[in-house]
Amino acid sequence: MQEMIDRGEGAIERTRSVHVAVSAVMSNAGEATRALSLARALRGTCPVGVRLTVSFLSQGGRFDAAAAEAGFAMVPCRPQFRGENAMQDLQRDLPELVGSEQIARDLIEGQLAALRALGPDAVLHGFWPFAGIAARLLGLPNIAFLPLPLVRSCIAGGMFPDLPDEAGPAARLPRPVRHRLAKAGSTLMTRAPFFHQRRLGAAAATCGWPTSGPLPLWEANRAALTVINDLPAFHTGYPLPENVVVTGPVFPGCETLREDGDQEAEPDPQIAAALHRDGRPAVLVAMGSSGSRQALLEAARAVAPTDRDRWNVVILVPPAVCGTDEVHAAAGGGPHVLVTDRFVPALAVTRLADVVVGHGGQGTVQTTMAAGTPMIGIGTVLEQQVNLEHVRQAGAGLRVQQHRWRAPVVRRAIRTVLADPAYRRHAQELAASIRTQDGPGTAAERMWEYLLGHPSPVPVPVPGA
């Protein structure tokens, strides 16, 4: 962070230069769009007397173009992936985030090289532990934006309201029993294999991390400031550290929301016509870029129109997940089913639906709730299950567990939501709450407080340093 003297027309003005490097998964719709919203908010709220530079690091992704069009510098970062599906690029092998120690090491080394060359004043990263590890190894201040507070004390304090779907036979117990077990065993949740990354730990050690063995995710993603881009009402049942702030939702189009209306993009006319045809109930299937092929196909089978279920259906298909022809066949074809792989303005399209069938990614959930539309979802990872459980507890939708995600079950859930207006009423209550909040603006305010701390922001040391 540098201070310069500007001389113009005899005046002397002290100007502070701030360079922020943003590192996010640019192939993941939710994370990439959140990163862009936060970067725009930082730029839009830049204080007088501060010169801000924002550079995006990227291993490749379909949202690189959006970042460049927004006027941000793009810095290629090794290794370069195809950038169509983050899970495929990482060869994710749950509970491990990466398919091999080599992939993790290449990613950390790539971040180290890019950050050394840039020399930023701070690093802003999402759920991308490779960036957090690299920033801390270089002694750079870091800010994390995460869907949930990935802090050990929060997990042990009851952040997860239900047992994970991966909990084996216990996940098949009745919901009230699962909830009691989750509350009573919250400390045990910190021992879950997912939170202790063996391959990531080994790779970090070879790159200079001073500890060995499995690396806890709360340590890999630890930051001086963490902003949680979610509704504050969803995070009141457990203690939050002072440096973890719940800012409000951040999703595509959230900047346009106002209490007196909004100016988001218009929906595609073909999609609008497909959803409104013949006055039938409108069902939108949006499984997101991180959804699985099998989950998408089961959803497609579930929405296939029948003599009883006369629905208008639009299915959004990420090209990296499945082919449109296969999805169209699973949905039974016919004139009342439209399948498309186009990228659409999510908020505008979601408003047109009577129910959304999707995964529990934060972007999908928040967009659906902001539209006041109830949803039915599957959580393929723990964070998504929590997002959907929040929606269920608010009465705005239903969560279907992984082992129950079959076409007949999903179809019954759709019928239930369509038949009960309380689901839409509760979704609209959440939409009203979202309209009163400025997630990107609140996050930017807290980030500037940290970035302009005198004399400079303090980095988080690596363990043992």
pLDDT at 249 over 60: yes
Q: How does the average pLDDT of the chain come out, rounded?
A: 90
Whether 303 and 312 have beta carbons less than 8 Å apart is answered as: no
pLDDT digits (tens, 9 = 90+) for 58-108: 998 889 999 999 999 999 999 998 766 777 788 888 889 999 999 999 999
E-state strands within 317-359: 337-340, 355-359
Find the radius of gyration of the CA atoms of the chain. 22
pLDDT at position 123: 98
Instruction: State the maximum Cα–Cα separation within the chain, in Å, rounded to a whole number.
Output: 80
3-class DSSP state of 250: coil
H helices of 71-100, in order, are 86-90
Q: SS3 for 354-370, per residue?
A: CEEEEECCHHHHHHHHH
How far is 57 from 72, CA to CA, in rounded Å?
10
What domains are there in the chain, each with its CATH number? 2-150+190-248+438-451 (3.40.50.2000), 257-435 (3.40.50.2000)
Per-residue CA distances from 12 to 8, 15, 128, 218 (Å): 7, 10, 41, 45
Of 301, 254, 198, 183, give the one whose Cα is nearest residue 444: 254
Tokens (6 digits) for 236: 């009141």
How far is 79 from 57, CA to CA, in rounded Å?
11
pLDDT at position 15: 81
3-class DSSP state of 32: helix
pLDDT at position 14: 62
pLDDT above 90 covers a percentage of the chain that reads 71
Q: How many CA atoms lie within 13 A of 324 on its CB side?
A: 12
Q: CB neighbours of 336 closer than 8 A, spacing ≥ 6?
A: 274, 277, 278, 280, 305, 310, 311, 312, 313
For residue 93, the cross-strand partners are: 96
Whether 298 and 326 have beta carbons less than 8 Å apart is answered as: no
Whether 230 and 147 have beta carbons less than 8 Å apart is answered as: yes
DSSP string, 127-176: S-HHHHHHHHHTT--EEEEESS---HHHHHTT--SS--TTSGGGGGS-HH
Whether 449 and 42 have beta carbons less than 8 Å apart is answered as: no
Q: How many CA atoms lie within 13 A of 19 on its CB side?
A: 14
DSSP string, 392-412: HHTTSEEE--GGG--HHHHHH
3-class DSSP state of 304: coil
pLDDT at 10 over 80: no
pLDDT band at 5 (very low <50, low <70, confident <90, very high): very low
Query: To 10 degrees, what angle do helices 407-419 and 293-302 make?
Result: 50
Whether 132 and 207 have beta carbons less than 8 Å apart is answered as: no
**pTM of this structure:** 0.90
pLDDT at 261 over 50: no
Q: CB neighbours of 206 closer than 8 A, spacing ≥ 6?
A: 101, 105
pLDDT digits (tens, 9 = 90+) for 326-362: 999 999 888 889 999 888 888 999 999 999 999 999 9
CA distance between the termini of the chain: 23
For residue 123, the cross-strand partners are: 21, 142
Query: Among the listed ranges 117-126, 221-230, 297-306, 339-348, which one has the minimum average pLDDT value?
Result: 339-348
pLDDT above 70 covers a percentage of the chain that reads 93
Of 212, 256, 243, give the one whose Cα is nearest residue 371: 256
